[in-house]
Every structure is written in C-alpha cells, then in structure tokens.
Structure 1
C-alpha cells in the first residue's frame, strides 16, 4: 500500500503565531538548560551502576559512547526542525514507516519515561541520605532480604506527591531548569577543579591504565560495555520534545543548544565517571555508597561543604528529572490516544483542575509499581533501563534515514524532470521559427511551474509548499554536507542498533520489562483499532500538512468543516478512484483556531489530532478506501481559508476534483475543462475535470 506519510506540522506558528510571541519561547540557552537538566542527572547514578558491570572501565566506555552521542545530536537537531509539532520518535517513526511504528516508538519512549521517573526519584532520595543518614538505613525484611526501607517509602511518597502536583496543574518552567542546570554544571566543575588541584597531570595520566588493569577486553565484553554506557546519555530525546516552544529558526536554535550540551556533558560526564570509579574504589564496590558516589567524590578533597552542596543539588535535580519524565509520559499517553491507539478515556480532564487525571495516574502509578517490584534496587533499575532508551534511539535514527533517502530520491526525480524539460525546450526553440513566440511562451510557463515546486524560500505557512523541516531545493540535496550527513546518519543508526541488540541479550531483565510493556501497549492499540474499525471508522495513515510534489491523474476530494455533503464527496471520490485505478487525495480545510494557552514543554502540538470532525471524516474515508482496495491514498489537513483548495489544485494537478455541488462556485481559481455533476444517496457532488498538458 503506497502512502505518503509526512507528520503533521502546525501551520500558524512560523513566526510565533498562535503559540505566542518569540519572546515567550525558548532560545538556545533555555533549551540547553532543559536538556542538560535531563541528561545531566544521569551522572549521579551511572558510575555506580556501570561499575557493577564493567568495573574500573566505566570511564572508558562513557568516553567511547560520547562519540556516538555526538553523532546522535546531529540527528536529533534535524528531528527538531523537521517536526516543529514535537513528538520525537512517535512522529518520526509514523512519517518514515507508518502510524503503527509511531505507536511502537511511543511504547519505547514510555518505557524510558517510566524508568526515568523511578530511577531519578530513587537516586534523588539516596543523595538526600548523605545529608539525612537515617534515610539510608538498611533493614532485613524476612522473605525480601536487605532493603533501604526508609528511602523506598520516601521515594514512593515523592512520586505520589509529584502525581498530585501534576493533577493540580503545575507547569514546568525552563527558567527553573536553567537554575538547576547551572547549579549542577558548576557543582560538577567545582568537583573537577578540586580533583585537578590535588593530582598532577602525570598522576592523571597514570590513572588511565588503571581502567584496564586486570581486565581483558573480549568482543563480547566490549559490546556489552559500549551498550550499557548509553545510560549516561539518557535525556537526549528531550530536545525533540521542545520544538513547539522553541524559537525560530528551529534548526539554528537546536544546533546551538546541542553544541552547548555536547561541551558541558563532554567536560563532565567522562571525567566524573573516571575519577569516581578510580579514586574511590571502595565506595564504587559498595552497593550503598556507589549510589551517591559523586557526592563522595566532591567530599574527598572539597570537604563536607561541597559534599553536602552536591548531595542537596543532585537530590533536587533528580526529583525535577523525575517530574519531567512524568510530564513527558502523560503527554505521550495523550498523543497516542489522539492517534486512536489508546482509549479515549485517557484524554478526559477533571472538572476541578482541567488536567488529564487518568494519563497522570498512569504516568505516576507505573513507576511506583516498578519501584515496589524491584524493592528499591537501583542496580536492577539500571539494568532494566536499556530497552526503551535504545529502542527509541534506534527507531528515531532509522526513521530519519528513511526520510532523508526519500528526499534524495525525490530530488533526483525532479532533477531528471527539469533536465528533460530543458532539453525539450531547447529542441523546440531550435525547431521553431523566430516569429513563433507562442510555443516558446508556453514552454517557459511550464518551466516556471516546475521551478515553483523547487523554489527555495517559499512561505510554507499555508502548507502547500514544503515546510521548514524539509529540504527546500534541489541545491540543498546536492550539497556535499547532505551526503556526508546522510552516511554519518546511517553509521549512527548501525552503532545504536548494535547497542540495542546487544543489550537485549546481555540485559534480559530490560528486555523482559521493556518488551512486556511494549507488547501490552501494542495489544491495547490493536484492540482499540478493532473497536474503531467496527464503528465504521479506521485510524488513517499519517496526515500530511504540506504538499511536496505533484500527483497527476489523481482524484482530489475536498472536505470542508460543517459540510453536509462530505460523506457524498468521499463515496464519489472513492468510486471514481476505484473505477479508473487512480490515486486519491483527501483534502480537509480546517478552521483556524487560536489556542487558549501557549504550548507547554513536552506537549505535542498537532492541530489535526485536536480536530475531531476532521478525524471522523478521514476515518470514514480510510475505511471506505480499504474496502474498495484503493492502493494509493493521501490525507492532507490544512487550516485556513478555503482558497487553499485552489493552491493545492495547482500544485497536485488532479484529473478529477470532487466537492459538494453547492460549494463548487466558491473556488473561482480552479479552472476545469468541464464540470460533471453526480447525484448520490448522500447528496449532489461536482466533478471538476481537467486534462493537464
């Protein structure tokens, strides 16, 4: 089934639009703060977890994986500007493959969020036990073994409190993230300064061979260490969730933010992991102390003041990261529900606070159950982490590679068409008499029409030409960096896929938990699909909000809000497409509505998914098209004036434009060769027929 799958974009925010002014959106520094406040928390628990699997080589593997992390940032910057509505892996996978892969990506990222909420809140309370020692008391529970019961109870209470605060309606602030990120970064730098003021450069260099002392690297152990070290960079996906609240141009802002992220993470994470595991070997081996080993490293030469400051700031930032994961999880639940992969009850909001209480309950309750199941063991949580994180990375990378390959193929096709057109024009000019200007004029007009499709810098706000994220011209595809970036992207996908498949074999607990959650989630999605199918409505393939190329000899079905004859248009268009074996485009022109509130961080802003009438008609169209076995069908959703229909008509070059008979007169810019009327059981429709030259 050939379907174009380009993710929805928001039409009206190319310059701030309905989402607020540029001044209220995030620039590079605030984007860095939000991402660093997520990634930067990993350093607090990664050294202790990694030591349990690779011992003193933890610093080496974090440094090695940093290279892949840098490659990943290139791809996530592109995801950010290609998909300004947010959604990350959900949106990328849906565009590149189909909506079911988008749902699969949603399950992967939910696994990641569940474990982030659990591990961050638990680690936060373990760091707090440095300041409040009674929290860290270990109790031997009959049948359960040794458990830090006070920490577990406080962690569960913290998650319940975060759930209540989200139910009340707290909003995450980038400025708060900035304060936390700056405190964390400068605390990390302070630790490094104290270390380097107490060891010489030669002593530092002498530490490096100690990483490998007593260890023999086999191919299997190398892969296991490489795969496990990705835990140090959990949170990278945050940048793709910030698109709706990011200043324009997205590409520039995201790139600048990620440069700062790479520098700050590169300066701190490998060195802190190396120093904590090599300079504090006894603490690294201790299953209790390694949970707050960065604070102990701060106290080694920085004294109790720095140790206490790091413990308190780490605890606060980790709780903040846990709350971020809860917010991200319930927004993914809501997006999957709007995509009709989850029951609609998830979208219900309470009347008192207007917050999605069922989605929040799931996002909070599942991490609580996970913590209870593992009895508050952070090492087990670390082992469970890999499946969702690396699954989301892999699916995002693969999806972006597919999208880039499509762009490349599309550009090659257009180049060939343009070359053929120019050759034809040259032949006609040579054959024509000097006085025959009409033929030359016609050819030039055709040439200009094709150039219009390629022209860079066109205003994409109406969705007819390419959006901000898509390559705007053939010239962009032809640049050497596009090819270099493409093959670097393929390499990145291969490396991440190797890490994911390795973890699936070396960490069976992660595979069991992540795979189990994914299977249950996809099972719910399938049952929901069956339910909507029985109701005569099928969740549609991914809806496009921009037209990128022509589809000649096609059927264009025009659907309008509040129209009584949309069902008649759908039936007539499907019948025509089936009878003449034509591709079909369903175009819905939605009403442009201003948002009541500006988008929040982690929110997926998608006007189509928030338009129930459009979803209803597209669902009916998909159901009927499937029954009549229409192989090529596309769904286009635009917001704005009905004049957009004429612009789409000019771009697509359809043979038959089907619309309600009473509405045909308002599209004066459509110039058909003839008009044919058809009377259906649902009303009268008009066929605007055109044979394009």
Structure 2
C-alpha cells in the first residue's frame, strides 16, 4: 500500500453535519457568499481595462470576453473545491491533499504573491478613483503616501480585531453592481445598436492579432477575474450543504461579472482611448466612462463606490494573507513566531504586520505605478489557479479509478456461480480496496462510497474531461505569462524561492531537534486495507509509545502500518472567522508529537509502508474503523483494551515493551 497523498487539514464540520456548538446564524448563505466574492473579483474591472490596454490596445474587451469561457470552467472547479475541502485553505489544502504538503506550501507562496499584489493594486486604485472627486490627491507621490496610510490603517484595524463583515460586503457589492449596470444602460441609451456593433471591427483595427499576441492577450486578461479564489476560503463559514450554497453563489458571480466586466472593458477602452493610454486616467477609467455618458453625478457616485470597494478588497487580501501565513506556520513551514498573538487584543500581530508591510514595500519599490503592479500580477494568480486545478484533477482521477475497480469487482462476482458469490465478493472487495459503507451517527466514517458511486456516472466523466481542459488552458496562460511578463515571473519566483527556502530551513531545523515531520496525515478513512497492522493511539495516553514500538517491532516490508490517532470530540465554541483555515490537527500538539515519534522510529527501522490517520472522534469509534479497514492485527494498550471490547478478534496475544503491555487483536477476514 503506497502512502496516500491526502489532506493535512481536518474539518470541524464532518460529512455534512455542522458542529452543534457553532451557531449557524453566523454562517454565510449563497447571497452573502456572492457578496464577498463579488466584492473581490468585481473590483478587477476598475483597473483591468487600463492595464490591458497597454499591451493589447483596443482588443482588451475581446480578450476579456474570450477568457470569460475559461472563467466559467474555473468557477465549476472552485465550486467543487468548497465542498470537497470544507476546512478552507484553497490551493494550500488542495495541493497538500492531492500531491503532498510541500506542494501545499508552494501553493501558499503562490497565493501570498497574489494577495500582496491585490492589497497593493486595490488600495492604490481606490485612492486614484477617489481623486476623481478630489483631484488634489491624485498626483504622485501624494497618492502613494495616502495609499500607504490606508494600508497602515487597515493593518491597525485588523490588529484591533475589527473583522470583515459579509453584510458590509453585500452593501458594497450591490451598490457596485447596480452602478455598473447604470453605466451600461446609460451608454446603450446614447448609442444606437448599429454604433455598438461598429465597435466590434474597431477592436481589431488598432492591434494586429498574431498567435503570440493572441496568447499574450488571453493570458493577460485573467487579471479581470482575480478574486475567484475567495470562494474556496469561505468554506468554513459557509452554510450547509456546501455544494448547493457554493453552486448558487458562483452562478450569481458568473452572471454578474459576465453582464458587466466584458462590456465595461469594451466601452471604456474603445470609447475613451485617450484615457486608456494615460497612466492615471486608465486607473479611473470606469468612473470617467460614467461621467462621459451619464454626467457628473454618476461619475462621482461610481468613483466613491469604486474607491470604497477597492479598499475593501485590499482589506480582504490582507486578511487572506495573514491566515495563509498562520496556516503555513502551523504546518511548520514558517517560523512559529508568526503564530504569536498580542496580549492586549489577542490578534496575530506579526502575521498581520507581514500581510500589511509587504504590500507597502511593493508600492514603494514601484513608486505607485499601477501599470507595473498589473505587470507583476500574473504569476501568483495563475499559479494558484493552475495548482488548484491540477490538484482537483488528481483527486477526481483517484475516485474514477476506484469506481472502475468497483465495477470490475461487481462484474466478476456476477459472472460466478451463485454459491461462490459471497466468498468472492468479500475477497475481491478487500483486494480492490473498495469497502462497504459503515454509517454511524457521525456520518459515513467507513468511506466516501457515495463519491465512488458518483464517479461512475456520465456527468462525472464529462466534468472530469472539462476539468482537464480547464487545467490545460490555465497552465497555457500561466506558461505564456512566465515568458511574456518577465517582471511578474521574477517577482513571483523571488517571493516563492524566499518562502520555500525558509520552509526548507524550518523543516531541517525540526529534524535536527528530533522533531520528525509526518509527510501526510489522513483525515478520512476511504478504503479497506486488508492485511494491515492498525495501531490505535488515543489523546493524552501515556501508553501510546508502547503501541507505536510494538507496531514497529512487528513490521515487515510487506505489512503496512496504519497509525490511528483518536483525538476525542473537542467542539469549537465560536464560529470561524472569514478566510480562516480550520485545522484541528495542526493545533493538536500531542497528536503531532505522537506521530513524530512514530515516524522517527519507522524511519530508523526502515518501515516502508505507513499511514497516519487523525480523527476527532472518541476511542469507541475504533470498532467501526476496524470493521471498515479489515486489519490483520490491531494493536491497543492493554490498559485501554476495555474501550475496544466490541472488536471481535479470532485470537489475542500480548507483547511486553519497555513502555508498557500491548494487546494484539488478530483477525483473519
């Protein structure tokens, strides 16, 4: 049994059952989820037309329309991410589960690059839009200094602990959406249908479309859809069922963005080409479009609402960044000092300082030139998109293989004489690693049989194919930007290299201190593992060492060991905060120390096949897991064997270790 690459993160909402200790009134429904995402992604239209115009001129709107199709495919994948990974974390969680934790760390670096630039470009753009109303603040370096002041203020507010509210997002998102619709209605009422259609050939007059420019425009226009990743960060605060809520929310996002972003880009770049060429006016272009066709009142309203929403998006990026810093630190990739909280407010002041300070440094380095910030943007955004898409494809592929294995087993059983059905069914079920459902009050602990069933459907196969197509398109866009946007590549690779160097240093230091990190921790039991050794460990148990040592002593190269840690129910007393990554395992120091000891002994004994399972359940659940896994040997501390009285072995033998006596519950299935 090869060690599976599965999630490092554990959920407090398990198998669709919301923790009864967390009030559902604080959870977000479809409308509020739409508001949070639209308040992020909807701000891109305020600066994207001007930035895109610098490279593709009048074709900016064409490329936004073109990329809209990929955006829809991406939305389908991110909707699935929200219900497959309800603990949040987005690319960090997906990459860690699908590939391994190091790829989760790389994904974390990618999304941090995106957050840094989002905070910088959104706050600067917000001030430039406000300068439409107050022209005195629009010049450099005053606009830069005001932007830095805004970022410092946002950092202070996060330090104080004033959290972002989805209801405030709703107000801002609704105002921004209807403002955009008002602009479009105004333009349409001032132009005939024929004049509007004349804009289509006008797009292609100013720029020759070659294969290279086509790829560059396609890749660059993804900037118009930055913010989609926010939906995956909302999973812990999303109402159940995640699949339905995320589906409705992203449908609303696609509709509202689709109705506004492409047309606003076309109108602003083709009807106001002089403004699009100007570095300052291009960062105010949607407000100027409103003023050109709707008058001073609409221009002022759009400028103020855009400014507020852009600054709000900057704050969202700061919140997302410091939660990613915290997650990577809890995963022991970044120094533990990042986890420190100040005694006065109880907020993670160091991670907040990093999330605020780095965008400020970036702003000073480019001296407030928004077009340069746009050029730097592509690396982290598309890197996070690509890694998330690839990770989800890998997870889907595993389920498809399990579904095919299940069908093969069913065909073999059906072809046998009736009297051989039962014996063969059990044998081949174990052989193919597909187990029956074991339903308990906690949900389907025995495995996601429903997911396996779903993987055999025609829709799943179509979705799988579309997902691979999406991944290819995103990777092509990312690869193109790596070549055509050298500044973005240099900045993104630089930040990622620094972050991964720190991660490697931390990893090495922990190993020297005797803390051996566990490569992968499983948080769901999905398959039957026949002929395995199951070592049951429980929270705070002084005899866990005896169980670990006995399992290692009896290991051989052909018998995999499953180290199962049952943490007990520790209900969360407060609702999770927006953008927070819920990860009980990484907060459980006893579990991490126990697994670290097991990993160190396994490496020393050269045990090749080992899996670590962490569940927030009581020890009594071990019986149901035993029935699901079908282990050959189950090890429990003799002092605790009364807790496992319902396990029905064929025989029991005892082993004495320096750390205590262990019972071997042996079973031939």
Q: TM-score, normalised by structure 2?
A: 0.96
Q: 1:121 aligns with which of 120, 123, 127?
A: 123
Q: 2:442 aligns with which of 445, 461, 478?
A: 461
Question: SS at the partner of 1:113?
Answer: helix
1:330 corresponds to: 322
2:93 corresponds to: 91
Question: SS at the partner of 1:197?
Answer: helix
1:505 corresponds to: 483
Shift of 1:444: 8.6
1:133 corresponds to: 135
**Do residues 535 (structure 1) and 537 (structure 2) align?**
no
- The structure-2 alpha-carbon separation of the partners of 1:270 and 1:515, relative to structure 1 and needing over 3 Å to count, comes to same
- After TM superposition, list the pairs within 5 Å mapping 1:155-554 onto structure 2: 155-424=147-416, 426-428=418-420, 458=439, 461=442, 464-466=445-447, 472-554=450-532
For the 8 Å contact 1:465–1:548, the answer to whether it is kept is: yes
1:55 corresponds to: 57
Q: 1:29 aligns with which of 24, 28, 31?
A: 31
Shift of 1:12: 4.3
- After TM superposition, list the pairs within 5 Å mapping 1:549-560 onto structure 2: 549-560=527-538
- After TM superposition, list the pairs within 5 Å mapping 1:649-668 onto structure 2: 649-668=626-645
Q: Which moved more, 1:404-413 or 1:11-20?
A: 11-20
- The structure-2 alpha-carbon separation of the partners of 1:227 and 1:12, relative to structure 1 and needing over 3 Å to count, comes to closer
For the 8 Å contact 1:590–1:614, the answer to whether it is kept is: yes
CA distance in 1, matches of 2:593, 2:467: 38
For the 8 Å contact 1:557–1:657, the answer to whether it is kept is: yes
Question: SS at the partner of 1:686?
Answer: strand
Residues 272-297 of structure 1: per-residue CA shift (max 9 Å, x gap):
00000000011111111111000000
Shift of 1:535: 2.1
1:105 corresponds to: 107
1:140 corresponds to: none
1:564 corresponds to: 542
- After TM superposition, list the pairs within 5 Å mapping 1:603-682 onto structure 2: 603-682=580-659
2:560 corresponds to: 583
For the 8 Å contact 1:107–1:518, the answer to whether it is kept is: yes
Question: SS at the partner of 2:227?
Answer: coil
Question: SS at the partner of 1:679?
Answer: strand
Q: Which moved more, 1:668-677 or 1:154-163?
A: 668-677
- The structure-2 alpha-carbon separation of the partners of 1:455 and 1:584, relative to structure 1 and needing over 3 Å to count, comes to closer
CA distance in 2, matches of 1:292, 1:164: 27
Shift of 1:622: 2.0
Shift of 1:450: 11
For the 8 Å contact 1:455–1:473, the answer to whether it is kept is: no
Shift of 1:423: 3.9
Q: TM-score, normalised by structure 1?
A: 0.93
CA distance in 2, matches of 1:93, 1:26: 25
Question: SS at the partner of 1:17?
Answer: coil
CA distance in 1, matches of 2:92, 2:651: 43
For the 8 Å contact 2:437–2:446, the answer to whether it is kept is: no
- The structure-2 alpha-carbon separation of the partners of 1:452 and 1:583, relative to structure 1 and needing over 3 Å to count, comes to closer
Shift of 1:527: 0.8
Question: SS at the partner of 2:527?
Answer: coil
- The structure-2 alpha-carbon separation of the partners of 1:19 and 1:205, relative to structure 1 and needing over 3 Å to count, comes to farther
In the comparison of the two structures, how many residue pairs are matched?
A: 667
CA distance in 2, matches of 1:258, 1:428: 50
CA distance in 1, matches of 2:638, 2:559: 22
Residues 70-127 of structure 1: per-residue CA shift (max 9 Å, x gap):
0001110111110010111001101111000000000000000000000000000000
CA distance in 1, matches of 2:206, 2:100: 49
For the 8 Å contact 1:646–1:669, the answer to whether it is kept is: yes
Residues 529-562 of structure 1: per-residue CA shift (max 9 Å, x gap):
1111122222223322221111111111111111
Question: SS at the partner of 1:104?
Answer: helix
For the 8 Å contact 1:463–1:638, the answer to whether it is kept is: no
Gaps of 5+ in 1: 138-147, 430-439
CA distance in 2, matches of 1:500, 1:153: 33
Residues 420-465 of structure 1: per-residue CA shift (max 9 Å, x gap):
3444462537xxxxxxxxxx7x789889999996667956835623
CA distance in 1, matches of 2:351, 2:305: 29
Residues 628-656 of structure 1: per-residue CA shift (max 9 Å, x gap):
33332211111122111111111111111
Question: SS at the partner of 1:288?
Answer: helix
Residues 471-521 of structure 1: per-residue CA shift (max 9 Å, x gap):
615431221111100010000000000000100011111011110000110
Q: 2:141 aligns with which of 146, 149, 159?
A: 149
For the 8 Å contact 2:402–2:434, the answer to whether it is kept is: no
CA distance in 2, matches of 1:505, 1:61: 18
CA distance in 2, matches of 1:112, 1:460: 41
Shift of 1:682: 2.0
CA distance in 2, matches of 1:16, 1:631: 37
Question: SS at the partner of 1:222?
Answer: helix
Shift of 1:666: 1.8
- The structure-2 alpha-carbon separation of the partners of 1:382 and 1:165, relative to structure 1 and needing over 3 Å to count, comes to same
CA distance in 1, matches of 2:399, 2:320: 30
What is the RMSD of the two structures over their aligned residues, measured on CA atoms?
Answer: 2.1
Q: Which moved more, 1:526-535 or 1:260-269?
A: 526-535
- The structure-2 alpha-carbon separation of the partners of 1:634 and 1:222, relative to structure 1 and needing over 3 Å to count, comes to same
For the 8 Å contact 1:12–1:461, the answer to whether it is kept is: no
Shift of 1:575: 2.5
Gaps of 5+ in 2: none
